[in-house]
Amino acid sequence: MKRTVSPSYLAGQVEAPGSKSLMQRILVASLLSSDTSIIHRPADNADSFHALECILQLGADVEEDENGSLHITGGKLPPEEPLNVGESGLAMRLFAAVSAMSGYPVELTGSGSLLNRPLNAFESVFPQLGAEIKTTNGHLPALIQGPFTGGEITLDGSVSSQFLSGLLFALPLAQKDSVIKVTDLKSKPYVDMTLEVLAHYGIRYINHDDDVFTIPGQQTYRAVTTTIDGDWSAAAALLVAGAIASRNGIQIKGLNGSFTQADKAITGPLLFAGARLMNEQGDVGVFAPKLRGFAFDATDSPDLFPVLAALAVFCKKPSTIAGVHRLEHKESNRGIVLQQEFAKAGVKIEINDDVMTVHPQKKLNACTIHSHNDHRIAMAGALLGLAGAPVTIDNCEAVDKSYPDFFDDLIALGADITPERK
């Protein structure tokens, strides 16, 4: 499917969607509890849907009430079919670890670009914890046989913090205590979210200097009631849209959350670039009379790269974004894809070692940008169209992964968006 986004002036307000990162963690924790947890304002996106399907296969009982809240009673049964995590890297790593607690052989599979994303960090540590995992050359499909018994391991955290998060969810149920020593940990804010969810469900742990985690075994997940926070990752695209394409600003509602989110860091580069932000009880407004260049290290929030690259196009001076090495194992190789696709609009992006430099472009070319089935690239392409020249986004349905209502919300704010003609 294609949509064409043309230059527009935005105004008004929209509600931020629910956080898919938090939703998937809450689903896993609710699965591991034997009692009934309640989730208010559940996130509605493809990644969360696949995680929900996985907990159903693993024995959870899920009911939706008249208000749309989910009531989840945990359970651990052997799945009759392979667990399909779709294209979610987080779900792949969470359910790989959690499957090792079931005591039954579990086959884990996925689709699309996820089949190229690494799972091999588990291959050396699973046997040390009492379980087995057989991957396909370090990727999905994988066959997992548990249960974990516990133990002491060293884990490489340089590729993704999601491997650590998966183990942190599973090991409290092991027979013995566990110690995880992490080297070169990246995206620590996502680990902070995991630890906050664990504490929310009554799980105990000791974190020594951010890189050693002691997890007592034989713990029990308690049932809780949780409201899913608004998603700062999705809101980042809207806030950039307000900065580049509104006269008097727009407002994003529902961002007053209880859990850490890495992509709340978007407020830093927006302020550095000259945008004005107003936060009133989680309702965040933004507008930018003028935008200058900015420098930002996105190592711990790599999902911000595409929208920051779009923001930089409309700044007065070149902007730099550090952390390019974090972009290779995403839905696409985002550094290369941003260079290729933005070049179609006339934007020059340079990558030197770990730093991306985006050069401003006063007049953009009308063009077609392919999303590469990457939701963040699709959103970034839409931003170029809002404030530059008409941009057609091919495979725009990629946004369903995290933010299915993205284009509808832009239209509600006044964006000129034309759907594909049949």
Residue type (1 letter), 328: E
Encoding tokens for residue 140? 């999905």
Q: Which residues pair with 84 in a beta bridge?
A: 109
Q: Among residues 229, 231, 303, 374, which one is catalytic?
A: 303
Report whether 167 contacts 26 (CB < 8 A): no
Q: Which residues pair with 106 in a beta bridge?
A: 144
Return the CA Rg of the chain: 21
83, 84, 89, 95 alpha-carbon torsion, rounded to 10°: -10
Three-state secondary structure call for residue 64: strand
Residue type (1 letter), 40: H
- Cα angle 378-383-387, degrees, rounded to a multiple of 5: 150
How many CB atoms within 10 Å of residue 379?
29
Report the candidate in 154, 150, 134 with the shortest Cα–Cα distance to residue 142.
Answer: 134
Q: Is 303 a catalytic residue?
A: yes
Phi, psi of 133 (to 5 degrees): -140, 130
Residues with a catalytic annotation lie at 303
